Amino acid sequence: MATVSLKNLVKKYGHLEVVHAINLDVEDREFVALVGPSGCGKSTTLRMIAGLEPISGGHIHIGDREVNKLPPRQRNISMVFQSYALYPHMTVAENMGFSLKIAGKSQDEISAAVADAARTLGLEELLERRPSQLSGGQRQRVAMGRAIVRHPDVFLFDEPLSNLDAKLRMQMRTEIKKLHAKVQSTVIYVTHDQVEAMTLADRIVIMRDGHIEQVGPPEEVFRRPASRFVAGFIGSPTMNLHNAVVGAGKLVFANGDTLPLPQQFRDRVTEGQKVIFGLRPDDVYPAGHGIHSGEAAEVHSVEVPVSLTEPLGNETLVFAEFAGQDWISRMLNPKILRMGDRIKLSFDLSQSHLFDAATEKSLRG
């Protein structure tokens, strides 16, 4: 049980700075997900917290201890590595029980803990195998098991589910959630998969090029992205983001098409300002096929041609052309559309986002 706090944490490899003075406070028992594109410094940050990577500046506290210089074994953490890092010469059971053995636990205690973890992870049949005799997904589960047999202050997970198939991933996601509810440890969880981040985390940290772009609960980063980057990164399919210029009470797109200036931004922009307009596919829909977002919906409709459809069964993604660009829209209760069909496309402007074109920061208050 512990808080984790990063203060102006810096990591340099030689002259190359890969993590730039980041600040983050993780509360006790909180589940925080670190997301961001490949190479943005997620693993590096996690490894610094674990003590596997010396830090080049700043401070790390776990609980009320400063752990900057403590070796990993004194930090009371457990970690799942992106590359599994299993002990090749030990069986699955030995791998999972190793930390307990080092901690001097009795053989009975170890066996019980291992059996328990193996049951949770569906590894009972594999306990006597060696890592070389396992599939990637099985290895990943063993790596997971190695972390959860203990009850550390902090769990550090580096993309622990990335190699599992969709079904197993969903199952494991549930297990992790249950596990967190049960052991109540603090968790820092790195992932590429935003569904994982959204479903598991109390708060999401979005990183980009060694900076933190935004920190917030899943609904907040989804509903109120602080920057164009976050808006584009969170949500699937990605948000429609198109450049526009503010006109008199309207937004003017490159080809001259316009949309009314959304109410909430009226006082926040000036005429002539260059902006990026953003609207999620859920909030652009063929008229009559959308999610109704309350009474005050500020809906604007235009007639546009369909350029592509992606039927997903219960819904269809419709790519429609407006303002010289493709807009992704989500059609619920789908009907069959063909390329070139003209449809009435509704824009729910109350849900729109506006970012300054230069700073890419949100113009919302």
Partner 1 sequence: MRGWKPAPHILLLMPAFIVLAAVVVVPLLLSLYSSFTPFRLTRPDTIYTFIGFRNYQRLFADREFWVAFGRTVLLLTVALNLEMVLGLFLALLVEKATRGQRLLRTIMMFPMMFSPILVGFQFKFMFNDNIGLVNNALQSLGLTDQAIPWLIDGKLAFTSILIAEIWSSTSVFAIFILAGLMAMPKEPLEAAKVDGCTPLQSFRYVTWPFIMPFAFIAMTIRSLDIARAYDIVKIMTDGGPAKRTEILWTLISRTAYSDARMGLANAMAYVAILLSILFTVMFFRQLAKARQQIGAEW
Can you give the binding site for partner 1, defined by CB under 8 A? 50-52, 71-73, 77-79, 81, 83-89, 98-99, 102-103, 130-133, 146
Does 40 bind ligand ATP (CB under 6 A)? Our answer is: yes
Residue with smaller CB distance to partner 1, 99 or 163: 99
Q: Which of 260, 209, 229 is nearest to 356 (CA)?
A: 229
Residue 41 binds ligand ATP (CB under 6 A)? yes
**DSSP code per residue over 246-263:** EETTEEEETTS-EEEPPG
Of the pair 98, 319, the CB lying nearest partner 1 is at 98
Give which of Mg ion, partner 1, ligand ATP, none residue 308 binds (C-beta under 5 to 8 Å, depending on kind).
none
By beta-carbon proximity to partner 1, the closer residue of 133 and 174 is 133
Task: Kindly state the smallest distance separating residue 159's Cβ from Mg ion, in Å.
Answer: 6
Q: Which is nearer to ligand ATP, 51 or 286 (CB)?
A: 51
Closer to partner 1 by CB, 49 or 269: give it: 49
Q: Which residue type, as a one-letter code, is found at position 98?
A: F
290 lies in the binding site for ligand ATP (CB under 6 A): no
Of 11, 192, 159, the C-alpha closest to 85 is: 159
Among candidate residues 8, 364, 3, 4, the one with its CA nearest the CA of residue 211: 8
Among positions 135-194, residues that touch ligand ATP (CB under 6 A) are 192
Cα gap 302→309, rounded to integer Å = 18
* Contact assessment for residue 340 and residue 306, using Cβ atoms and an 8 Å cutoff: yes
**Which one of 3, 7, 17, 18 is in contact with ligand ATP (CB under 6 A)?**
18
The footprint of Mg ion (CB under 5 A) covers: 43, 82
154 vs 331, beta carbon nearer ligand ATP: 154
Question: What is the side-by-side strand order in the sheet with 250-253?
Answer: 258-260, 250-253, 240-247, 274-279, 353-356
**Closest residue by Cα to residue 80 from 26, 33, 43:** 43
CB 82 → partner 1: shortest distance, Å? 9
Stretch that binds ligand ATP, among 12-20, 165-173, 253-261, 354-362 (CB under 6 A): 12-20
167 Cβ partners below 8 Å, 6+ apart?
Answer: none
DSSP codes of every residue in 117-140: HHHHHT-GGGTTS-GGGS-HHHHH
Tokens of 21: 């003075």
Q: Are 106 and 94 in contact (CB under 8 A)?
A: no
Q: From Mg ion, ligand ATP, partner 1, none, which one binds at residue 38 (CB under 5 to 8 Å depending on kind)? A: ligand ATP
How many other C-beta atoms lie within 10 A of the C-beta of residue 292?
Answer: 9
Which of the listed partners (Mg ion, ligand ATP, partner 1, none) does 87 bind, with a CB threshold of 5 to 8 Å by partner kind? Answer: partner 1
Applying CB under 6 A, the span of 39-47, 179-187, 285-293, 300-308 interacting with ligand ATP comes to 39-47
Query: Whose Cβ is closer to partner 1: residue 51's or residue 235's?
Result: 51
DSSP 3-state of 11: strand
Q: Is residue 331 a contact point for ligand ATP (CB under 6 A)?
A: no
Rounded CA gap, 272 and 263, in Å? 17
**Residue ranges binding ligand ATP (CB under 6 A):** 13, 16, 18, 36, 38-44, 82, 192
